Each structure stands twice: as structure tokens, then as C-alpha cells.
Structure 1
Amino acid sequence: MNRSIWQQWRRWFANLYRYPAPIRILVFVLMLLLLWLPFALPIYRLLTDQNLAGILALLLLYSEFLWLVGVWGRRVYRQPQLLWQYGLEFSQRSGLELLSGLGIGLLSILLLFGIEGSLGWLVWKAPAMPLVRVVLEGLLVAIGVGFAEELFFRGWLLDELQRDYVPSVALWGNASVFAAIHLRLITLPALVLLGATLVWAKRACSELRIGRRRERLGLPIGLHAGLVWGYYIINVGQLVTYTNRVPAWVTGLENNPLAGLLGLILLSGLAIGMWQFTCRQRATVRW
């Protein structure tokens, strides 16, 4: 009996690619949670240091995600190199794209705060801790966040959506899920814009392989990491104080630049720039 149930499950799982994208996505997420919770709950219960528990639980979650992607590729799509198809590669080309994105993201944040400072909306002050330490810590955190979120959202999730929907629907669906899952209403419009920008960044780095387009993740990982890095340096280093000369909705509600008018303008500029870059890059590629 148990063997029969197992065989039925394997047949159903092998035919999962026939189901619509929302069902495939739901099944994947449920499987990931079922794998994670039996180990994560004891971690939170046994460790008194909740920060350490959170870090360990997230590392476990992502390790299981990477393992499940491998199973997903082999069993559902018969594609053993699914991470490569998502755009993850360790090459000089991808490294240069990552560095380019990192620079664009960091300079964008510095430009945003620089403009606010020049307008008298904030004042710069000495860092609360050694700046070198903040910069290096921020870089490690930013690369980790950029890698993890981009492989999940612009890798796995975007791939699932693109299998069923036209590019525009996949893009805005991906951006909407990315924004909603962060559970912050005040940053929702900005995160939708950011999600779309990161999809365009990925599509700008594409190539034709064996009759199908493959897009690389280096640029979106770098861009995402650069934005996180810049904000980490300024926020954790406590480098600025707002003067309250303008309403908080201009500079950012709760001191979050993504929740302000100027932040939305910055992200709109990034989105337009990446969209134009994608159009130019695609025009040079023969499909």
C-alpha cells in the first residue's frame, strides 16, 4: 500500500510541469516549508540567542532551497542544470556584470543622500563606529542578500512565470510578488519598481543557447547588493541626521528612503535606465 502511494506521488510529481504556474509555485513553496519547519522550530526553541537562531534558520532554509531546486530540475523538468538555466554562473563575464551592478547600486544610494544633503534635508555626521568595519560588514551582508533574493525571485520564480506567461506578465507578476512578500505597505510601490528594474537588469544580460534565450543573474545580484550596501553603510554607520525641513513622505517615511518621493524618483530613473539598456542589448542580439 505504502509503495503504491509512493509510486503515485512520484508519477504526479514527474507530471507537475503540466500544471499552471501558480500551482507549481505553491507546491514548491509548500515542499520547502515542510522540509524546513521540522528543523527550524527546534533551532528557535533551543537557542537563547534569537539573532543566531534566525541566521542559522535562514542558512538552513536556503540550503534546502538549493537542494530542492536540483530535485525540481531533475524530476519535474528533466533539466539537471536548472541553476545554470536560471542564470547563475561563476565566470569572468558574470563577475564583471556583478561589479557593474554593485557600483550602480552604491552610487545611486550615495547620490540620493547627497542630493538630500545639498538641499539641507539632512546633515552628515561622523560614523558611530569604525567606517571600514561598517563598509566591509555591509558588503558581506549585501552580497548575501543580493545573491539569495535574486536567485529566488529573478531565478526560480521568474523562470516558473516565464514558462507560462508572456514576458510583460511574467515581469510584473514577479515584481508584485517580490514587493508583497516583504510585507511593508509603505514601500510597496518602490519595491514593485525595484522588482521590475531587477528583471530588466537580468534580461539585459542574455544570450542565445541551443535555440532558447538564457539570461544571467550577475547584474541584478550586483545592483540589488549595491543598493543594500549603500543603505547599510549610511544607516548602520549612523552617518546622517534628518533636519525635518520637508515632510517625511519626501525623504522617506520611518527614515526609509524607499518610502519617500525622492526614493521613488531614484528608482524610476533606475527602472527607465535598465529598460532602455535592455532594449539596446536585445537589439544587438540576433534571435
Structure 2
Amino acid sequence: MGLTPPPAPVTHGGGRRPGGWLLAVGYLPLLLLSGWLLARPLALLAPGLRPDQVNLAGTLVSFALLLLTLPAWLRRRWGEPRAWRRLGVAVPLPAALQALLRGLLKALLLLALVCAGLLLGGAARTGPGITPAQLANALALMLGVGFAEELLFRGWLWGELALGLGGQRALLAQALIFSLVHPYPLAQGWLALLALKGGLLLLGIALALQRRSDGGVLWGAVGLHGGLVGGWFLLQGGLISLSPGAPLWLVGPGGASPNPIGGLLGWLGLAALLAVRRRWWGENPKPIQASP
């Protein structure tokens, strides 16, 4: 069956709801605040929990609230009764698996580029290997972080921004917001911060183009994003060992846990991916054909 990229959201009556943008801006902070408040009793019921564990529970509650409220949100704001299909989640299984595997393959190629560059440049050496527990954690990161962030940024946020900006400017805007909201301490200076934010901006664009190239299916972006997160976790966890004096410009900022997205290798890999995806810059790409 043919799967077309999701069109820009529309509002009832073809116009913008009064106060709609104010409502949209407050939607996510309200979910985060609700999750944080609902998780506070855990600190009293289980005093042994660390603050970061309570905060993680609050994040999970916020995500659950997002899943529960998105269908009603899309009906009211976008005039869309089929929320999960519009967001690229509820698609035929063959189309979802094909997109997911394409995304994972691109993540593997990007990580292979980074790994080869670090080993050949003397910034890393082969490690002792990984444990089954690390592999399980990597899979959880791949599915959890990949799905949650792609649903939020390349699903809801991109569509929400398209209400007022149009698909093309919204594509760039969602990538910019994606890069800005990821926290980063300034201990390594402003250049490291700018390098990381620039890499995240490129990644946000690449993920949007991945969804566009998959005809609106979200699972390719989930595979690409989750594959990078989970794959880098495995590389750092034991597949390679970074040298103590590895240059920041090569391995990326982050200190003991560097993020290669902000390093030269990450920038080169993402730039190459964007070059390959240049045909999908247009707002109305040709729909792909997916198996029924």
C-alpha cells in the first residue's frame, strides 16, 4: 500500500484556534509538571529511592500522560481522528519493520564511521566486550529513548509547528528546538557546547528527513535515533576503550561520557547522511510504496 508523508495539521474550520499557540506551548510543560508532581509521593513511600530515580519515574509518568492525551489533542487541534496513523506509528507491520531496519542500518554505518575513526586516530582501542546486562540496557535505550523522543519531536512537535510555519520551516524549527532542549554543562566551554548543539541540529534534520523518506512512517527515525543511542552505549560499555588523552574535537564533548555527535566524526557522518537525503528536502516528496 502507498503511505504518503503526513500533511500539515489543520484546525477545525480551516482556521487557527484562538489562543491555540499558547495552549500548544503550555502542553508539554504541563505534562512534565504533572509527571513530576505525581512521582513525588514515591520519595515518601520508598525512602531508599535516589532523587534521580524519583525524577526518572516522573519522566515515565509524563510520557504515559502524553500517550493518553495525544489522540484527544490531535482531534481538537489538528482535526485528525486517526492520531496514531497521522503520527506514523500505526502503520502496516511490514512497513514499520522495513523503516525500522533502514534506520538501524544507517545508525550502524554512522557508528562504524565513528568507531573506525577513533581506532585509526589512536583515540581508542578495542575493549574487553559487553555483558548481557549491557546488551539489555542498550535495547531498552534504543526502544525507549528512540520511540519517546521521535514521537515527541518528529511526531507531535513537527506537526504542531507546521500549523503556523509550514512543513519546510517547521522541519528546521523542530531540529533547532531538539538541539536546544538537550541539556549540557558548560564545564568544557562554549566551543564544546556549540559543537554539540550543532551536531544535534544536524541529527534533528536527518531524523526528519528519515521520516519523510519513509513516507511518513515514524519507525525509521526511531531506528536511526535509538540505534545511535543504544549503539554508542555498547561501544563505550566495552566494545572500545577511549584513550584518556583523546582530543575533544574527535571524540566529542562530554568528559568521561563523550557524545560523538559533537565531534568531527559525528559531523562528517551526519553531513554525509544529509547529502544522501537531499532529494527529500522538498515539502511534497513522492510517496513510497510499502508492502501490504
TM-score, length-scaled by structure 2? 0.79
Q: CA contact under 8 A between 1:44 and 1:53: conserved in structure 2?
A: yes
Question: Which residue in the other structure is 1:260 paired with?
Answer: 263
Inter-partner Cα distance in structure 2 for 1:170 and 1:75: 20
Question: Which residue in the other structure is 2:188 paired with?
Answer: none
- The structural deviation recorded for 1:49 is 2.0
Question: Which residue in the other structure is 1:204 paired with?
Answer: 213
- The structural deviation recorded for 1:34 is 4.8
Query: 1:191 is aligned with what amino acid?
Result: L
Deviations 1:200-249 (A, max 9, x none): 1111122xxxxxxxx110111111011112101012236212263x6322
Question: Which residue in the other structure is 2:71 paired with?
Answer: 70
Identical columns (%): 27
Question: Which residue in the other structure is 1:11 paired with?
Answer: none
Residues 1:250 and 2:250 aligned together? yes
Question: Which residue in the other structure is 1:3 paired with?
Answer: none
Question: Which residue in the other structure is 2:279 paired with?
Answer: 276
Question: Which residue in the other structure is 1:8 paired with?
Answer: none
- The structural deviation recorded for 1:77 is 3.5
Aligned residue pairs total: 262
Inter-partner Cα distance in structure 1 for 2:105 and 2:247: 30
Higher relative contact order (CA 8 A, sep 6+): 2
Query: 1:39 is aligned with what amino acid?
Result: L
Query: 2:175 is aligned with what amino acid?
Result: A
Runs of 4+ in 1 over 6 A off after TM superposition: none
Change (3 A) 1:165 1:232: same
SS in 2 for 1:240: strand
TM-score, length-scaled by structure 1? 0.80
- The structural deviation recorded for 1:17 is 4.5
Instruction: Flag the structure with higher helix content.
Output: 1
Inter-partner Cα distance in structure 1 for 2:44 and 2:181: 25
Query: 2:31 is aligned with what amino acid?
Result: L
- The structural deviation recorded for 1:74 is 3.1
Question: Which residue in the other structure is 2:54 paired with?
Answer: 53
- The structural deviation recorded for 1:189 is 0.5
Deviations 1:129-173 (A, max 9, x none): 52x432332022211110000000000000101122122210110
Question: Which residue in the other structure is 1:36 paired with?
Answer: 35
Q: Structure 2: give runs of 5+ residues left out of the alignment.
A: 1-11, 185-192
Inter-partner Cα distance in structure 1 for 2:18 and 2:111: 42
Deviations 1:5-32 (A, max 9, x none): xxxxxxxxx9995247742421312432
Single out whichever of 115-124 and 216-225 deviates more from structure 2: 115-124
Inter-partner Cα distance in structure 1 for 2:287 and 2:101: 22
Change (3 A) 1:269 1:54: same
